[in-house]
């Protein structure tokens, strides 16, 4: 099948597939006379595997490790288990961070019950106070607090 069909079959964007090839997660395929990539069932399975891992928020580096084991069926899978445990740790750590943020944010929110002039807004004034360290810092690899997908479109005219 051609790249567009593979994309449809796996729910992946065409550019993402080419990106994975560049990154070495998918092998380079054979090509048609017209230089089109052609894929088989094995490619579809491998891509499904990758996307499944990504849906669990693993990094491409983590996925690379798992793929090495997929490609070496006689190896002992102990490292796979360890990697998964670590990744679960990454997720758990980020959840703890975000819960702490949520608490702080709710406390902050309570400082302004009803709208007034900005100069007396408890929220703005509290944010202006210095100190109060303790934000997210160490540990794993689960980051950010802001999603992909939405509202990305509207960002074009941001600058200027």
Partner DNA sequence: AGAAACCCTGTAGCAACTAAAGAGTCAAGA
Partner DNA sequence: TCTTGACTCTTTAGTTGCTACAGGGTTTCT
Q: How far apart are CA 135 and CA 129, in angstroms?
A: 15
Other beta carbons within 10 Å of 102: 11
Nearer to its own copies, 34 or 160 (CB): 160
Alpha-carbon distances, residue 104 vs 3, 132, 133, 134 (angstroms)? 47, 11, 12, 11
* Count of residues that bind Zn ion according to CB under 5 A: 8
Compose the 128-157 pattern: x for residues touching Zn ion by CB under 5 A, - for all others.
Answer: -------------x----------------
- For its own copies, the binding residue among 28, 34, 35, 106 (CB under 8 A) is 106
155 binds DNA (CB under 7 A): yes
- For DNA, the binding residue among 9, 19, 44, 69 (CB under 7 A) is 19
Phi and psi based region of residue 143 (left: phi greater than 0; alpha: psi -120 to 50; beta: remaining): beta
Phi and psi based region of residue 11 (left: phi greater than 0; alpha: psi -120 to 50; beta: remaining): left
User: Rounded to 5 degrees, what angle do the CA atoms 155, 51, 16 make?
Assistant: 50
Compose the 1-40 pattern: x for residues touching Zn ion by CB under 5 A, - for all others.
Answer: ----------------------------------------
In this structure, what token pair is assigned to residue 4?
Answer: 């567009």
160 binds DNA (CB under 7 A): no
Sites for its own copies among residues 34-93 (CB under 8 A): 44-45, 48-49, 52-57, 59, 61, 66, 69-70, 72-78, 80-81, 84-85, 87-88, 90-93
59 binds DNA (CB under 7 A): yes
The secondary structure of residue 31, as a DSSP letter, is B
Across the strands, what pairs with 37?
Answer: 31
47 binds DNA (CB under 7 A): no
Nearer to Zn ion, 60 or 121 (CB): 121
């Amino acid at each position: 099948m051609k790249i567009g069909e593979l994309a449809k079959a796996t729910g992946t964007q065409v550019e993402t597939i080419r990106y994975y090839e560049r990154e070495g997660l998918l092998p380079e395929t054979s090509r048609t006379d017209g230089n089109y990539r052609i894929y088989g069932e094995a490619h579809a399975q491998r891509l499904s595997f990758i996307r499944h891992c990504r849906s669990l928020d693993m990094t491409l580096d983590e996925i690379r490790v798992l793929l090495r084991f997929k490609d070496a069926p006689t190896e002992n899978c102990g490292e796979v288990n360890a990697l998964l445990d670590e990744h679960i740790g990454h997720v758990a750590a980020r959840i703890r961070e975000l819960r702490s943020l949520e608490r702080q944010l709710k406390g902050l929110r309570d400082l302004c019950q009803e709208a007034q002039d900005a100069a007396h807004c408890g929220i703005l004034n509290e944010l202006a106070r210095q100190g109060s360290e303790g934000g997210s810092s160490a540990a794993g690899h689960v980051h950010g607090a802001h999603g992909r997908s939405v509202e990305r479109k509207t960002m074009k005219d941001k600058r200027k």
